[in-house]
Structure formats: structure tokens, C-alpha cells
Structure 1
């Protein structure tokens, strides 16, 4: 028998797709939690082990070496469960440990992941998603403003670390040579020196974490999941995922999204473009070539400045 506490990071990579093994562990957790069920279904997306229990309850299992993700997601869910938001988030039911790994038990949000329907949305539905997402991100940011010096210091250190690692990061992610040679000079002009408001970030407002449902025949954004990667930092960092993953190839969506978040037309300027592009280059999961694949124009960009203007267009 393989106990969870014996599974290293390397072994987890090998065992991650062994559904029968993980289903057995989830069954035992259900016994511990006294959850009666008829059907267990594993979710295919995400880095952790996540199962649906009769499409009503979700159990999320965290490897011991990422227990900080469990702590963060638990804290964020507890906080958000006490707020009234314009979309749903999972309700935390219980937490526990099994064989040295932590787990969350929470309600399952009904609907379809945006990643599974985004391409079939009509333009009006895409505009509505952009508007609704800008609104909910602003709601969460306004509710989580931090004035703690430690939070500012941690954010500053995070950015410093990202700058130090930026070349290795983008080399490993296949950035083309022409753009790669511009990285150092592009990041040298101290774009991010201002001390701005810092808030709770997910860095993960992507179509993999947004729940959609049809209302009056139209797809609408109704729920938000996955808070394991949350941390505190500059609010602009959270605006990158929706733009890079979804909005930038479609004229008008960036503008709708950012204005819904709270930017005025005058603030949608070259300075903001440069700042957002800088944060995109420094993002933990940044993959510039992947974002470029969404647009023929982006694929042909020869400078980071040009690419920033394409990604963060405000037309």
C-alpha cells in the first residue's frame, strides 16, 4: 500500500494520472467525513487532486509539499464566504488531514468551465464576460486592501526575485530569440517603482477557474473557483490572465474589462500598457509564446513594446 505521506514531488508526477489510486483515497476521506455518495468523478483540470461527489460536493487534496496552498485556499474561502459577491464561490464545509496530506471539503458550483465554452460564445456573450469579470475582480480587491508593511515588503521581494529569474523563465518557456534579447533593456526603466495599493491576488482569473451558466439563453459568468495560488500584491497583476488568455484578440474586450474594473478612459494609456506588459513578463506562469498563438498579429511582433501594444490594446 502506498501512503500519501510517502509520495514525493517526483513520485506525484508519475502517479498523478492513476485515477483508481486517487479514487481509493477519496473514498476513505468520504468515510472519515461520513459523506454518503453514489458517484465519484475526477476533475481533469488543475494541479491538485480534485473529485466531485455526486455533483454536490468537492474534495480537494493537497500534497504535503504544497500545504501552503491548502492554508491559503482555506483562509480565502473562509473570508469570501463571509462576503456578498456578485458571483458564487464554493462554500467551505470542512477540512482535515489524511495520511499526512490536507484536504478541503466544499460545495460544488453548478455550471461549465469557461475554457470549455469560450470559443463558442458570441461576441455579446464575450463582452458580458469581460464586463462581469472586471466587476468581480474589483469587488474582491476592494474587500482585501492591505496596509501592512510586511505585505509591501513581501511583494517587493517577489518582484525582485522575478526580475532575477526572468531570463531563465522565458528561455525555458520558449520565447523567441528576437524578443528574448530585449528582456533586460525592457525591464530596466523602473516601470514598477511606485508604491501602489496592494490587495489579495489570485493571478488565476483564467478560463480554467471561471464557471459559466446559461441565463435567458445567454452564457453568463456565475462562479469563481480555485484560490490555492492567492497572495498579496499590486492589483494590476490580477488583470493579466483575463487579457492574455481571452480578451486581447477581440477588439473592445480589454477596454470593457478594464473600465468595468474601474479605469477611466484617460487612464487607458501608454504608461498602463507598459506597466501591464512588465507585470506579464514577470508573472509566475508567464508564457509569451502561448499568448502569441492566439493572434496572427501577435505572432508577427518583433519587439516587446509592439507586443505590449497588441496584448494591452485599449481600442
Structure 2
């Protein structure tokens, strides 16, 4: 008898996501297959995959609705090992009842978002410096030629700009704001500076940078979750950290941009806002 449910749409998946009685038997079976102690399984509910921690490993189970997420995650783990910051090692990958899974290294540290608001200004400056340097190193990696990265930036930009009104309306943004922001986007889209496409993590939020306190100083000590990996314009990467970390603070924004190697100017500010409006996960306050 199959252990995994039939999932036909996101609503069904969402309703089952936190039901450990469904997922735990599957994870126990994977532990037996790969020689891990099933008694140590612990559920993690962040992200969209089914994730458990066990004996220094992370087990990630991907719903068949989004096979590309598994492909991007695996590609990102392989492509980003050259970074100086730790990225999880891939130990195993396979399928269980048609669901893809990965078993990867569990990195030490806490999500940077958990501690960010408690940190003094000097520590936040330092972390934005580190984040900018990590982003610059990521964007200097060779760009893999892999279908998992999608159709390319021009096609993505076209789809996002043409679908802006529909997407933001569906997310509850007021019609007046939707129209005004769409006018901005259509006016400024052609002004995005020409830059070669790079490898993008695309979701550098508080959950995906890991951090540790070392001798009284907080350091970014890990980069995780590559399910949204894509190729595209470097400025697209700044959307998440500017919203999550800098939150309109010019001092932190300046530190992040200059650490990356950009000179903050009004023109750059406009380009960053344009790139933000193209973001897949943009959810403006209603």
C-alpha cells in the first residue's frame, strides 16, 4: 500500500503539509534505506518541501507538482560548492513513490532572520557587508547550461512585466496601486542597465542565510535552499535582502550595495526598484 498521498493541486498539498502522520512513515523508510537512525527524525516546516532533520542530515521530499524545484535544488547544491561560504553537501538523491528526495548535510547555525532584529547596528553593518560579498561571489560563478534554470532572463522579464497586473491583483493589491506600479514598471523596464546574466539564488531571505556568533561577532556561515535558482539580471537578487534586512534604512542599503561593488546612485535606485517589481515573490502590502 502506498505511503504517499495523491496530490493534484497546491490546495490539497497545503492542507496536508503539516500532517506529520503522513510524512513521518516515509521519512522512516528513507532512513532505513540509507542507514540513518529514524528515531532522531525532527520535522522542519519552513519552505515548501517536506523537510526533516536527522543525525546531521536534512531529508527533503519534493511534491511531484513541482519537479523543477528538485532539479534546481540539486543543481544549486552542485554549482555553489565553490563558494567560500558553506553550502550543504549532497549525500543521496532518488525517488520514493514518484516523489523526488534529497539527503543533504545539515549546516550549523540559525536562520539570520531569527536574530536580525535583536542585533546592534554595528553587527548589522558587518552582516550586510558579508551578504554583499557573498552575492558578488555567487554571481561570479560559471553559469550552468541547464534547462532547470528556465528559458532565460528576456523571456522571464517579458512574462513578469506582462503579468504584473494580474499577479498583483490576485495577491490583493489595491487596483489604484497596481495601475500606478505597472505604469512605473512599463516606463522603466527598458532602462535596466545591460548586465550579463548570472546565477541567481533568487530568495535570499532571513531563512536562507545561516549565521553563528563567533567570539562575540555574528558571521554568515551558510547558504541553503536553492529551489528558486535561476539565471538573470544581477539586480534581481537584491529584492529579498533589501526588503528583509535593510527595510528602507539607507545606511544598511549602502553597505550591502558597496560590498557587492555597486555605487549607490539615484539611477541605481530606480533600477533596483524596477527589478523588484519583476520578482516572482513580490507581494506588496494591500
User: Is the 1:51–1:59 Cα contact (8 Å) retained in structure 2?
Assistant: yes
Q: What is the alpha-carbon distance in structure 2 between the residues aligned to residue 147 and residue 37 of structure 1?
A: 37
Gaps of 5+ in 2: none
TM-score normalized with structure 1 length: 0.83
Match of 1:51 in 2: 52
User: Is the 1:191–1:274 Cα contact (8 Å) retained in structure 2?
Assistant: no
Report Cα offsets for 1:265-297 as digits up to 9, x if no partner: xxx21221111111111110001218xxxxxxx
Gaps of 5+ in 1: 291-315
Match of 2:21 in 1: 20
Q: CA deviation at 1:147?
A: 9.3
Match of 2:110 in 1: 112
User: Is the 1:49–1:60 Cα contact (8 Å) retained in structure 2?
Assistant: yes
TM-score normalized with structure 2 length: 0.91
User: Is the 1:152–1:233 Cα contact (8 Å) retained in structure 2?
Assistant: no
User: Is the 2:209–2:224 Cα contact (8 Å) retained in structure 1?
Assistant: yes
User: Is the 1:170–1:180 Cα contact (8 Å) retained in structure 2?
Assistant: yes
Q: What is the alpha-carbon distance in structure 2 between the residues aligned to residue 137 and residue 14 of structure 1?
A: 35
Match of 1:261 in 2: 260
Report Cα offsets for 1:89-125 as digits up to 9, x if no partner: 1011111110100111111011111121111111111
Change (3 A) 1:76 1:271: same
Out of 175, 183, 186, the residue aligned to residue 184 of structure 2 is 186
Q: What is the alpha-carbon distance in structure 1 between the residues aligned to residue 6 and residue 91 of structure 2?
A: 27
Match of 2:64 in 1: 64
Give aligned pairs, total: 282
Residues 241-250 or 171-180, more deviating: 171-180
Match of 1:237 in 2: 236
Q: CA deviation at 1:4?
A: 2.8
Q: What is the alpha-carbon distance in structure 2 between the residues aligned to residue 173 and residue 48 of structure 1?
A: 22
